[in-house]
Amino acid sequence: MPIQGLQAENLHLWRGERHVLDGVAFTLPPGFCLHVAGANGSGKTTLLRAVCGLLYSESGRVLWNGRDVSEDLAGFHSGLIYIGHEPPLKSDLSALENLRYWLGVRRRLGPTLLEAALQRVGAGAFRDRPVRTLSAGQKRRVALAALSLALVPLWLLDEPTTNLDAAGQQLVGTLIEEQLARGGLVLAATHQELPVARERVRRLELAVE
Amino acid sequence: MSNVSAATGQPLALAGEEGGPRPAPASMLDAARLVLLRDLKLAFRRRGQLVQPLAFFAMVTTLFPLAVSPELSRLREVAPGVLWVAALLASLLALEFLFRDDAHDGTLEQYSLSGQPLTWLMLAKTVTHWLLTGAPLALMAPLAALSLGAPGASLPGIVICVAVGTVALSLIGSIGAALTLGIRRSGVLLALLTLPLSLPVLIFGARATELAIRGAAYGAPLELLGAMAILGVTLAPLAAAAGVRISLE
């Protein structure tokens, strides 16, 4: 199925008294990255969670391939991966086991695929260590391995470059560019600059209320 | 699985090049199996959490004869009640851990975004929970029953009653555990929510056990326990999934 893109129309979301998302709208065609920028507390995470359906917006809608995602939420979900600012890893399991259980729920993954993905992000050396013993940057790298394993058109990344060294940040850029080159879409919320070619990036600036 | 990379000979190309072989989507059974394996593995890496409810059950049921009376006829009278109250509280003790860690580290979030039905994954988690608490309780029940003066002939019946009853308890508990996810120090609230719903299990479980000890037919109350377990299988995962979704907001 050809991917036509992601659209958000007039998203409004309240958190108690705070109007966090105030009519946010964007259009993202395939092969483009949306850089969601803004100060702390401007609602970057909220926007990402509202787009993928973890949060319900009070009004507005999200369209995937021209159709309202609430019509087929499971179908929409199987085409996206969301990585929050804490990588969803179990501290008592190894990096390899974590990926196996996390992504195995979506796809049948053999050990070779898992190992290749971990090698790719420079996590091969510590794949069998319990995640508890890994540094924040190493955990982030393990989470990045999930991106290439999920093989989905839409990536939603919350602060993908935090805790990473220079080479790691460059890796995030490379992974995103590869995703865009094969016609995927990326939503990345970060207040840093994204290490991605500018002509592929659209910018959405959120303001603090 | 391994043939995927053998076909390309270039595992790195999997990073999703179009035209490359794509691993097949996981079926619902694959997903449930992985949820189950993950929880079992985690439980055995953290044995303390696993042992706690079982130790509680063993302590209550073995201390009772010491405190009440060593007289068998009197013990036999209180045995069903002691057995079931201890089983109920032990399973309640284990409930707090059912979803808590998964909620903290974002696993539940990933489950709900996996494209698999969350209800189904919740059922898999609850089944695992029963394997880790209900099943061991059922296996320990004969020991406890013997120390409470139950005759040997009644033991198979007691095991079956506890096994079926704890299925219902795990399922009822999964609703309470999901609903109290967003709350800190949820222990008391969890007990308040779960205990009233568990009372029928306690009543019919104790009744079936009492009949088994007396050597009478215990089929009728056991069937009611089974009915509660089946009702739980069909409804509890739905409620638990809804509770988890609310907690993610």
Look up the pTM and report it. 0.90
DSSP string of A172-194? HHHHHHHHHHTT-EEEEE-SSPP
Q: Find the closest chain B residue to A80 by CA distance.
A: B113
| Residue B7 pLDDT > 90 | no
Q: Which of A106, A107, A144 to mutate to test the interface with B (most CBs of B within 10 A)?
A: A106
Helix-strand-coil split of chain A, %, nearest 5: 35, 30, 35
What would the pLDDT profile of B133-148 be if each residue is shown by its tens digit? 999 999 999 999 999 9
CA A30 to chain CA centroid, Å, is 15
Handedness of CA A150, A156, A159, A160 (dihedral sign): positive
* Distance to chain A for B220, nearest Cα, Å: 40
- CB contact under 8 Å between B23 and A110, yes or no, is yes
Q: Which of A72, A103, A105 to mutate to test the interface with B (most CBs of B within 10 A)?
A: A105
Q: Are A24 and A46 in contact (CB under 8 A)?
A: no
Highest mean pLDDT: which of A15-19, A161-165, B180-184?
Answer: A161-165
Q: What is the pLDDT of residue A1?
A: 58
B50 CB near a chain A CB, below 8 Å? no
Q: Are A161 and A175 in contact (CB under 8 A)?
A: no
Q: What is the pLDDT of residue B9?
A: 31
Nearest to A90 among B24, B42, B109 (CB): B42
Q: What is the pLDDT of residue A73?
A: 92
| Chain position carrying tokens 């016609």 | A183
**Cβ neighbours of B107 in A, within 8 Å:** 88, 90, 102
Average pLDDT over residues B71-90: 93
| Chain position carrying tokens 């190493």 | A138
A200: left (phi over 0), alpha (psi -120 to 50) or beta: alpha
pLDDT band at B35 (very low <50, low <70, confident <90, very high): very high
- Burial bucket for residue B85 (CB in 10 Å: 0-12, 13-18, 19+): middle
Average pLDDT over residues B175-204: 92
User: How many contacts does A have with B, using Cβ atoms within 8 A?
Assistant: 136
| Chain position carrying tokens 């996390």 | A102
Three-state DSSP at A19 gives strand
**Residue whose C-alpha is closest to residue A37's, from A48, A29, A28:** A48
- CB contact under 8 Å between B4 and A112, yes or no, is yes
DSSP string of A35-87? EEEESTTSSHHHHHHHHHTSS--SEEEEEETTEEGGGSHHHHHTTEEEE-SS-
| Residue B89 pLDDT > 60 | yes
Paired residues of A37 in beta bridges: A205
Q: What is the pLDDT of residue B21?
A: 62
B104 CB near a chain A CB, below 8 Å? no
| Residue B14 pLDDT > 70 | no
Three-state DSSP at A195 gives coil
Q: What is the pLDDT of residue B139?
A: 96
Q: In chain B, pLDDT over 90 holds for what percent of residues?
A: 77
| Chain position carrying tokens 């595992």 | B11
| Residue B69 pLDDT > 90 | no
pLDDT band at B36 (very low <50, low <70, confident <90, very high): very high
pLDDT band at B10 (very low <50, low <70, confident <90, very high): very low
Three-state DSSP at A8 gives strand
pLDDT band at B1 (very low <50, low <70, confident <90, very high): very low
| Residue B190 pLDDT > 90 | yes
* Distance to chain B for A134, nearest Cα, Å: 15
- CB contact under 8 Å between B11 and A116, yes or no, is yes
| Measured distance CA(B45)–CA(B54) in Å, rounded | 17
Q: Find the closest chain B residue to A112 by CA distance.
A: B2
| Chain position carrying tokens 């369209």 | A63
Q: Are A175 and A144 in contact (CB under 8 A)?
A: yes
CA B72 to chain CA centroid, Å, is 32
**Cβ neighbours of B2 in A, within 8 Å:** 110-112
- CB contact under 8 Å between A151 and B2, yes or no, is no
- Predicted-complex ipTM score: 0.93
| Measured distance CA(A121)–CA(B17) in Å, rounded | 17
| Measured distance CA(A195)–CA(A102) in Å, rounded | 27
What would the pLDDT profile of A30-88 be if each residue is shown by its tens digit? 999 999 999 888 899 999 999 999 998 889 999 999 999 999 999 999 999 999 988 99
Nearest to A107 among B23, B42, B106 (CB): B23
* Distance to chain B for A192, nearest Cα, Å: 24
